[in-house]
Amino acid sequence: MKIGAIQNPFRETPTMPDRKLPDKTDFGAILGDFVKDVNVKQNEAKSASKEFMMGGDIELHEVMIAGQKAKTSLDLLMEIRNKSLNMYRELTRMQ
């Protein structure tokens, strides 16, 4: 039995698909958009709970989901703020 040559398994180098960066590459703009999004989620949770208390057409689980989304996004925003402040303090200490 004759053994053939091993073919190069890397004939073509796989390429990563081109990902487009968002138009806003400014950290302040991205953070501002995120703060607005957190505010929207807080308002949605507030209106959902208000509608539920008034006897509206909304289920309890929908109110709880909206509340958890708002809480999670606020927690993430607070962590980003804390990390940014720590980074700023570290940079000022280096100078």
Q: For residue range 51-75, what is the model confidence (pLDDT) as tens digits?
A: 999 999 999 999 999 999 999 999 9
- pLDDT, residue 29, reads 87
Q: Residue 70: enclosing H or E segment and its boundaries?
A: helix 60-94
- Cβ–Cβ under 8 Å, residues 33 and 24: yes
Give me the residues of the chain with pLDDT under 70, please: 1, 5-24
- pLDDT, residue 49, reads 96
Instruction: Report the alpha-carbon angle 37-39-42, nearest 5.
Output: 115
- Cα torsion 75, 79, 85, 90 to 10°: value is 170
- pLDDT, residue 23, reads 62
Sequence ranges of the domains in the chain: 27-94
What the block records as the tokens of 40 is 């929207």
Please state the pTM of the whole predicted model: 0.67
Averaged confidence pLDDT in the chain: 86
